[in-house]
Amino acid sequence: MTGFAEISTVLGEIALGVVAIMILAHIQKHLRRVVTGRNVVLGSIMVWYLLEAVTITNATDGEVVGLTQNKYDYGLLCVMLSAISFLIAYESRNLKMFDGFGHRLTVIDNLNWQWRIFATGFIIGSLPILIIGKFDLTLFLDGVFEFQKRWSSRLSRGRYGGFRDAFLELRLFFNAVLPIAIIIVLRKDSSFGQKAASGKFIMWMLLKALNSGSRASFFGIALPVAGGVYFLLRDDLKKMAVLIGVPFMVIAGYYWSAAVVVTRNSGEFRFEAATEAKYVGFEMFRELLYISEQIGGTLDYELGRTYATQVVNPIPRFVWKNKPVSDAGLMLAIARGEVNKETGEAYLTRSPGLIGEMYWNFGLIGVVFLSAMGGFIVKSWDHMRLAHRHSFVVFMVHAEGLVILFLSGRSFSMSALYGLIAIYLLMVFFGLGAPKKQTVILSNQTTPPQNPPPQPRVTKRSA
């Protein structure tokens, strides 16, 4: 079906406006508040759900079928329940579950420890490339200078892997030390050699992500780089970055994503191909509509099984051979008939969307409860940043978490957290002997004295 002229999208337009007002009301006094988990989550609801909700009547890719006004309105109800539940929980309490992590980050907020962490993370990330690739150094250039056809990397891993595939996951240490590399480049007191090595690493990561055909990989690298530059800007320039830079990045990112979707199977990227895209990859509203309609038919409530699969994801399959395979993306693809006729296996993954997966597991109650839980977690993540607002390391790690929040609009994936888990492991290891908290030397900040003068001793007189 090509279009649904009888469907009114007025409620979708109202919902889009309401969520936009929720964001604008929060940033009207301080534009920098746009860089918070609260507004990233609300913005992701707009991007992944509400933008499609107001344009779905023009869908021409043949995937949106049987749409009725009741189905449309019910989908909007799910989206707005998620947004409101999240916001109520976020504003209701100040939790500090990540403050200990933030303190550990500030403890190693000095150049020597950052350089050690960066070097160690790079070595660990390089191990699978060197060992599995039999020390073929050209593998480091794989996908750096040309756009790669999908799944064509020489070090691609299988869907259900063994030891080799688990070993390849060590490359996520590259993602772990990316924020540290950005800090080293932008610090005033880092040496030319340190800046050069870190800068080459960042450029290498950017080029590989850009040519990988993976939008999530590129955004996961490019946005933290933009965040590092933003941190060092003067306040007036930060306002310009928010007012001009954010809208530009949103529009450019949307059209680049469209071009990637069209060209990634051919391996020949063309930016102008964005105009040919009928599907961009941000269309999660349609998946929510499909899931809510099919529950009780081709789909059953999963009752947490898809989340349990993600929780045990870090356990290698060569250790646990019967590890659950209830992956939401594969199961949804099978339900939609996107399978190999000979093997019966899905030939792609179809993300259910974060809200769609909530509904798929527990219905409306799950949407409300899990969104509220997300509100508490995100508030804690933002509190970590506020508690250590002058730490460059905390800012960068917080920013990396915000990127993960945005990308999780497609679905919850434990693998998205591997970079943060890896940096935590490095922090724990090196933090054992780290010096006390110091402040990064930045052009727009003063440096506290290393050894402050002793304070006079005050003795209490007896009454």
For 6-19, the pLDDT digits (tens) are 788 999 999 999 99
Cβ distance 258 to 27 under 8 Å?
no
User: Within a 13 Å sphere around the CA of 283, how many CA atoms are in the beta-carbon half?
Assistant: 22
Note the pLDDT of residue 432: 46
Does residue 462 form part of some domain? no
From 195, 207, 224, 133, select the one nearest 170 (Cα to Cα): 133
> Is pLDDT of 224 > 80?
yes
Note the pLDDT of residue 380: 95
Does residue 265 form part of some domain? yes
From 190, 168, 169, select the one nearest 181 (Cα to Cα): 190
Neighbours of 414 (CB within 10 A): 14
Note the pLDDT of residue 62: 62
Residue-wise pLDDT tens digits, 64-101: 777 889 999 999 999 999 999 999 999 998 888 998 88
Residue-wise pLDDT tens digits, 238-249: 878 878 888 888
Does residue 74 form part of some domain? yes
Residue-wise pLDDT tens digits, 15-53: 999 999 999 888 877 777 778 999 999 999 999 999 999
Cβ distance 39 to 27 under 8 Å?
yes
Does residue 4 form part of some domain? no
Cβ distance 388 to 106 under 8 Å?
yes
Count of structural domains, the chain:
1
Name the pTM for this structure.
0.83
Query: DSSP characters for 301-356?
Result: --TTHHHHHHHTTTS-TTT-TT-----HHHHHHHHTT-B-TTT--BSS-----HHH
Of all helices (H) and strands (E), which one includes residue 125?
helix 111-132
Does residue 313 form part of some domain? yes
Cα 187 to the center of its chain, rounded Å:
25
Does residue 212 form part of some domain? yes
Note the pLDDT of residue 4: 61
Does residue 463 form part of some domain? no
Does residue 450 form part of some domain? no
Buried b (16+ CB within 10 A) or exposed e, 151-187: eeeeeebeeeeeeebbbbbbbbbbbbbbbbbbbbbbb
Q: Range of 212's domain?
A: 10-431
